[in-house]
């Protein structure tokens, strides 16, 4: 997906379309973890391989090899896909290198956005920051500072998290890994190390991040897992750093080990990571982050979305500073550099990647390949998530390795695409411009990221993911901003500055404020750097700038920036998340491109800025993945259910895309709708989806086109489209209703010709066929047949339903209809099938109201009894009583029902069971349903009023046990049966029974008064309706 996204971006308009599609697909893929299997076969296949690789990755090499394979296999696909965006999305995993790059880029961006949007992102950020700091020694300070703020924000981030990470990692990777840390590099990491060290580190970080995300997703909210992931990432970063710092070989190994160890053994890994981290890790980490989000439940979606926006951002970032950084990075960089060429190679030729993958020596190549895969990774990771998580749990080593490779690949890919695609990507140009306006860019980027998040987040939050697709341009901007960011290298920031940043951010109360503060900070730092006071200024003493006015921003940010808020205060975050964002406002806001993206971008940028100034780009890329993972984690924590739902829907949508154009459209629209209402709850989004789908059906093609075009136009187009969709749907409805009124029903009414008396009921799914519909005469015979049938209720019910159906389709409403419904209602009452009875009763109500004769009074009594017995609402009872006519009040059945009502409301159990004995018609069947309650109340009352005892025989008589048994026959025997029954019942309800001198059973009222209880219904069914339990039902049904 990512690849696709990236491709689309590079490709431009078509690209966007494809990106969106891809995104969708990805998201779906990721969520299901079915990536491999899910969606298009090609995609699925490619994904699966990736996942496999990932799983194998435990063995870094094997993973790489698998990647290579996948890539190889995919490359062609990707090419195809490039041509066809869908294909590209699918191919992402396998995608050819260039595509991969693109995809990666886009992915990264999206991931960034995702990460930002979600809390998980923040966590990622922190991780990134730390990593970046470590890896990027220059920005390190800034990063750290950023990290620190982030950490505070998210529980995950609690740097403690780093330390914690070990524990996490332990869980994920297994403590063994940590311990082995030293050895790690050799064993599991060894593979990674063999790869480019830097790359490895990156990979590791990525993997970690992936793991965490996956873990989070899988574990569904295990916060611990999330931190673990973060930690791993950090470690990885550190590892990267170390690698970069150290020459490739040993350093790399160590680093890789460290990274791996970090995830597993947090403490050791952390220190290592920090030390090493200075170098390059951040970039790699970023890719990993991206994949992670993808990996997490939503991952697939996210990647896709990410691909669109996130990729762009990543690309930009990576391309501009990130790439440079990577290149510059000594050992790691060397690797990177090699990778870069590799990327180029990759870009140019997918096979190169494949070679890399296949060839161990080409660790760098692998990296590249990995990068490619990484691009895909999001997708892969998603696919692999399941496997990853599993693997991680079972074999932590492998898991991480795999992930790492992916991560590495991602960064590389990003880089390569950026470089390669420079001409291709309009974004680059934008980026340059954006660089001039870092804030704006950052905002844009944030917006993009947000959108990406939304897209990717679809799994988690789902809202923004859709948006992301449509917001390619913002991504570009974001990228540019990122690029500008690189100018500021957080790593180089003095500690005091970091502290300053922390302080500045710590007082922020909302995402919007954070974002704004970050913008201000960025400016401050930039200016300080420009006039050389960055290191000379006493940041500790410098007063904090006034909090920026967030009015507009806050709105935009709220929904997109769940992560930051989460870190700070989960409650708030959730709040903001669900708060509906004023779309219009967003547009109005400064964000020029897409409002939504802008919002998101703001967050992204802010975060990026804070933590990562200089390295930001690469870091951002890395961060984004982390963020994504974070988001996923957080989301999973908070609302795993929703997520699942979203992911499900996404997956289905993906499938749809793969399968047909219309499906694509629908999925696209779904995305759009999501984009439109970022802040909407999933339910609302779903509603919108379905609404827009409706619209699409009619105007699908047009809509699709418009969706794609808007890239630059962004949200505005979306709105416009939405508006048109609404208008169209309205017109449809109107025309539809008109048509309905104009229809000549008589002409259309079926006249049955079937002569069969017996007919099974089958719910119609199409217009009725006269050949299978029975005319009225036959139906009359059928009714007689049913009435005289000796078969059980299920058969009769089935037959009656088919008779009802035939009556309905022929629009027969006469005495026969009433008779059929009455017959069915009585049968249903006899067996206690209340749902069916209620259906008949409501039909009878309208039939009687039409003046058709029947047993009106009998059913009026039933109706009254139903209200008495099943409604504890006084008003219902009063209104149904006041509706009774005088005639009705004189009817025997209705009188009886009214008497029952009186007995029930006064609690007069003697009267109730007396009435039970004399019940006309089937009134007793309805009273049955209330008898137990009445008995319980009665026994309660007796235990309170009688002293010292009350004979069970009296209880049996008064509470209808004897009556019930006497129905069956003999006199004495029946009485004794009733007695036994009442003894059983009393015992079941906790009554205290004693035998008196004559051997007669007595209820000890005083002892019983405190021991009575209502037993759990023995026939309770899981679905809550015991009448639906077939076995039980059959036994109850008289045969």
**Which residues contact another protein by CB under 8 A?**
874-875, 877-879, 881-882, 902, 905-911, 914, 940-942, 944-947, 949-951, 954, 957-958
From the CB of 951, what's the least distance to another protein, in Å?
Answer: 7
From the CB of 868, what's the least distance to another protein, in Å?
Answer: 11
**Sign of the C-alpha dihedral computed for residues 378, 384, 386 and 387 taken in this order:** negative
Tokens 């309805």, located at residue: 926
For another protein, give the closer residue by CB, 619 or 957: 957
From the CB of 953, what's the least distance to another protein, in Å?
Answer: 11
For another protein, give the closer residue by CB, 487 or 898: 898
From the CB of 980, what's the least distance to another protein, in Å?
Answer: 21
Tokens 């119609």, located at residue: 764
From the CB of 914, what's the least distance to another protein, in Å?
Answer: 8
Q: Which two tokens stand for residue 707?
A: 């969706």
From the CB of 441, what's the least distance to another protein, in Å?
Answer: 38
For another protein, give the closer residue by CB, 507 or 944: 944
d(CA 158, CA 127): 10
Helix (H) or strand (E) holding 233: helix 225-245
Kindly report the backbone phi and psi dihedral angles of residue 499, in degrees, each rounded to the nearest multiple of 5, phi listed first.
-60, -40
For another protein, give the closer residue by CB, 360 or 881: 881
**Sign of the C-alpha dihedral computed for residues 648, 226, 415 and 116 taken in this order:** positive
From the CB of 881, what's the least distance to another protein, in Å?
Answer: 6
From the CB of 995, what's the least distance to another protein, in Å?
Answer: 15
For another protein, give the closer residue by CB, 588 or 906: 906
d(CA 86, CA 60): 30
From the CB of 158, what's the least distance to another protein, in Å?
Answer: 36
For another protein, give the closer residue by CB, 97 or 958: 958
From the CB of 940, what's the least distance to another protein, in Å?
Answer: 8
For another protein, give the closer residue by CB, 791 or 883: 883
Q: Which two tokens stand for residue 862?
A: 């039933």
For another protein, give the closer residue by CB, 881 or 929: 881
Contact criterion met (CB below 8 Å) for 793 and 1034: no
From the CB of 923, what's the least distance to another protein, in Å?
Answer: 20
Name the residue among 7, 52, 18, 17 with its Cα closest to residue 33.
52
User: Angle, nearest 10°, between helix axes 85-94 and 640-659?
Assistant: 120
In order of 330, 422, 510, the CA distances from 438 in angstroms are 27, 20, 21
Alpha-helical regions (H) of 395-437: 398-421, 426-436
Kindly report the backbone phi and psi dihedral angles of residue 543, in degrees, each rounded to the nearest multiple of 5, phi listed first.
-70, 150
For another protein, give the closer residue by CB, 791 or 917: 917
Name the residue among 498, 581, 563, 560 with its Cα closest to residue 534.
498
From the CB of 935, what's the least distance to another protein, in Å?
Answer: 13
For another protein, give the closer residue by CB, 503 or 937: 937
Contact criterion met (CB below 8 Å) for 272 and 257: yes
From the CB of 874, what's the least distance to another protein, in Å?
Answer: 5
For another protein, give the closer residue by CB, 684 or 1000: 1000
For another protein, give the closer residue by CB, 393 or 957: 957
Q: Which two tokens stand for residue 252?
A: 């790399």
For 29, residues 6+ apart whose C-beta sits below 8 A from its C-beta are: 1, 35, 38, 39, 43, 44, 47, 299, 300, 301, 303, 304, 379, 382, 383, 651, 654
For another protein, give the closer residue by CB, 785 or 911: 911
SS3 for 948? coil
From the CB of 1009, what's the least distance to another protein, in Å?
Answer: 10
From the CB of 984, what's the least distance to another protein, in Å?
Answer: 21
d(CA 861, CA 280): 82
For another protein, give the closer residue by CB, 484 or 949: 949
From the CB of 452, what's the least distance to another protein, in Å?
Answer: 36
d(CA 11, CA 22): 14
β-pair partners for 106 = 311
Contact criterion met (CB below 8 Å) for 311 and 110: yes
Tokens 């999305």, located at residue: 89
For 756, residues 6+ apart whose C-beta sits below 8 A from its C-beta are: 774, 778
For another protein, give the closer residue by CB, 613 or 904: 904
Contact criterion met (CB below 8 Å) for 469 and 304: yes
Burial 640-662 (b: 16+ CB within 10 A, else e): bebbbbbbebbbbbbbbbbeeeb
From the CB of 853, what's the least distance to another protein, in Å?
Answer: 23
For 322, residues 6+ apart whose C-beta sits below 8 A from its C-beta are: 283, 286, 314, 411, 414, 415, 418, 482, 486, 615, 616, 617, 618, 619, 620, 621
* Cβ atoms within 10 Å, residue 151: 27
Tokens 């990003």, located at residue: 414
d(CA 40, CA 596): 29
d(CA 460, CA 624): 15
For another protein, give the closer residue by CB, 887 or 1019: 887
d(CA 350, CA 1018): 65
From the CB of 873, what's the least distance to another protein, in Å?
Answer: 8
For another protein, give the closer residue by CB, 446 or 900: 900
For another protein, give the closer residue by CB, 594 or 949: 949
Kindly report the backbone phi and psi dihedral angles of residue 773, in degrees, each rounded to the nearest multiple of 5, phi listed first.
-105, 135
């Amino acid at each position: 997906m990512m690849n696709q996204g990236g491709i689309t971006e590079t490709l431009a308009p078509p690209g966007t379309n494809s990106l969106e599609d891809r995104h969708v697909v990805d998201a779906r893929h990721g969520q299901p973890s079915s990536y491999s299997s899910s969606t298009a076969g090609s995609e699925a296949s490619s994904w699966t391989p990736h996942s496999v690789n990932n799983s194998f990755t435990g063995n870094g090499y094997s993973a790489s090899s698998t990647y290579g394979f996948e890539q190889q296999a995919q490359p062609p696909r990707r090419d195809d896909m490039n041509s066809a965006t869908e294909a590209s999305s699918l191919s992402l995993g396998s995608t050819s290198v260039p595509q991969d790059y693109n995809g990666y880029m886009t992915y990264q961006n999206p991931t960034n956005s995702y990460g930002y949007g979600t809390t998980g992102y923040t966590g990622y950020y922190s991780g990134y920051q730390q990593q970046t700091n470590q890896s990027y020694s220059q920005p390190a300070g800034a990063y750290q500072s950023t990290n620190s703020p982030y950490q505070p924000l998210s529980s995950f981030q609690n740097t403690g998290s780093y330390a914690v990470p070990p524990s996490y990692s332990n869980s994920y990777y297994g403590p063994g890994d940590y311990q082995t840390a030293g050895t790690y590099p050799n064993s599991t990491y060894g593979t990674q190390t063999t790869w480019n060290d830097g790359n490895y580190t990156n990979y590791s970080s990525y993997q970690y991040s992936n793991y965490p995300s996956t873990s989070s997703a899988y574990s569904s909210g295990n916060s611990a897992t999330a931190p673990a992931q973060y930690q791993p990432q950090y470690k990885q970063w550190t590892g990267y750093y170390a690698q970069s710092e150290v020459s490739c070989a040993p350093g790399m190994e160590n680093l890789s080990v460290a990274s791996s160890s970090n995830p597993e053994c947090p403490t050791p890994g952390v220190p290592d990571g920090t030390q090493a981290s200075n170098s390059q890790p951040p970039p790699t980490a970023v890719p990993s982050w991206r994949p992670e989000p993808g990996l997490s439940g939503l991952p697939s979606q996210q990647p896709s979305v990410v691909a669109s926006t996130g990729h762009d951002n990543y690309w930009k970032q990576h391309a501009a500073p990130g790439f440079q950084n990577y290149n510059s990075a000594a050992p790691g960089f060397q690797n990177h550099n090699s990778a870069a060429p590799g990327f180029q190679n990759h870009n140019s030729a997918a096979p190169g990647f494949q070679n890399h993958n296949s060839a161990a020596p080409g660790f760098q190549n692998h990296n590249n390949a990995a990068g490619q895969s990484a691009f895909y990774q999001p997708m892969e990771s998603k696919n692999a998530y399941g496997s990853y998580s599993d693997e991680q749990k079972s074999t932590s080593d492998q898991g991480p390795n795999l992930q790492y490779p992916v991560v590495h690949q991602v960064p590389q890919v990003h880089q390569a695409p950026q470089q390669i695609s420079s001409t291709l990507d309009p974004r680059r140009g934008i980026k340059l411009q954006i660089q001039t306006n870092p804030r704006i860019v950052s905002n844009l980027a944030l917006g993009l990221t947000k959108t990406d998040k939304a897209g990717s987040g679809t799994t988690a939050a789902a809202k923004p993911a859709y948006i992301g697709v449509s917001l390619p341009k913002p991504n570009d901007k974001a990228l540019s901003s990122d690029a500008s960011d690189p100018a500021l290298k957080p790593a180089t920031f003095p500690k005091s500055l970091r502290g300053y940043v922390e302080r500045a951010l710590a007082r922020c109360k909302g995402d919007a404020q954070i974002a704004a503060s970050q913008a201000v900070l960025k400016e401050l730092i930039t200016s300080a750097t420009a006039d050389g006071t960055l290191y000379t200024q006493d940041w500790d003493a410098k007063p904090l700038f006034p909090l920026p006015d967030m009015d507009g921003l806050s709105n935009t940010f709220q929904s997109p920036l769940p992560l930051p808020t989460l870190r700070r205060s989960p409650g708030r975050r959730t709040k903001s998340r669900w708060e509906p964002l004023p779309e219009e406002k967003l547009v109005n806001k400064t964000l020029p491109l897409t409002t939504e993206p802008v919002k998101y971008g703001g967050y992204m940028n802010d975060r990026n800025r804070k933590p990562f100034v200089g390295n930001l780009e690469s870091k951002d890329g890395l961060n984004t993945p982390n963020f994504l993972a974070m988001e996923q984690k957080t989301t999973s924590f908070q609302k795993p259910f929703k997520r699942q739902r979203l992911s499900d829907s996404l997956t289905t949508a993906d499938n749809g895309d793969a399968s047909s154009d219309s499906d694509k459209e629908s999925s696209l629209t779904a995305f759009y709708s999501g984009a439109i209402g970022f802040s909407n709850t999933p339910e609302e989004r779903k509603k919108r989806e379905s609404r827009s789908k409706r619209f699409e059906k009619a105007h699908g093609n047009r809509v699709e086109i418009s969706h794609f075009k808007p890239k630059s136009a962004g949200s505005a187009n979306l709105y416009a489209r939405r508006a048109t969709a609404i208008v169209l749907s309205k017109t449809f409805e109107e025309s539809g209703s008109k048509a309905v009124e104009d229809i000549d029903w008589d002409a259309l009414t079926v006249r049955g010709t079937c002569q069969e008396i017996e007919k099974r009921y089958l719910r119609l799914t199409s217009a009725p066929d006269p050949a299978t519909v029975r005319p009225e005469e036959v139906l009359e015979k059928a009714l007689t047949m049913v009435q005289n049938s000796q078969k059980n209720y299920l058969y009769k019910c089935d037959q009656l339903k088919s008779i009802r159906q035939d009556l309905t389709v022929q629009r027969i409403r006469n005495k026969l209809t009433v008779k059929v419904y009455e017959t069915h209602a009585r049968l249903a009452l006899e067996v206690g099938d209340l749902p069916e009875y209620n259906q008949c009763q409501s039909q009878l109500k309208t039939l009687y109201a039409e003046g058709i004769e029947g047993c009106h009074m009998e059913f009026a009594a039933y109706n009254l009894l139903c209200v008495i017995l099943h409604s504890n609402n006084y008003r219902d009872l009063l209104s149904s009583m006041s509706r009774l006519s005088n005639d009705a009040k004189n009817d025997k059945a209705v009188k009886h029902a009214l008497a029952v009502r009186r007995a029930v409301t006064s609690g007069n159990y003697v009267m109730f069971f007396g009435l039970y004995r004399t019940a006309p018609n089937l009134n007793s069947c309805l009273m049955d349903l209330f008898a137990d309650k009445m008995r319980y109340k009665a026994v309660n009352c007796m235990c309170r009023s009688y002293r010292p005892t009350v004979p069970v025989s009296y209880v049996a008589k008064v509470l209808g046990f004897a009556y019930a048994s006497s129905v069956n026959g003999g006199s004495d025997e029946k009485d004794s049966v009733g007695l036994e029954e009442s003894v059983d019942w009393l015992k079941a309800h906790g009554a205290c029974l004693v035998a008196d001198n004559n051997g007669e059973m007595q209820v000890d009222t005083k002892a019983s008064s405190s021991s009575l209880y209502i037993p759990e219904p023995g026939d309770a069914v899981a679905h809550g309706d015991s009448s639906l339990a077939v076995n039980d039902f059959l036994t109850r049904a008289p045969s």
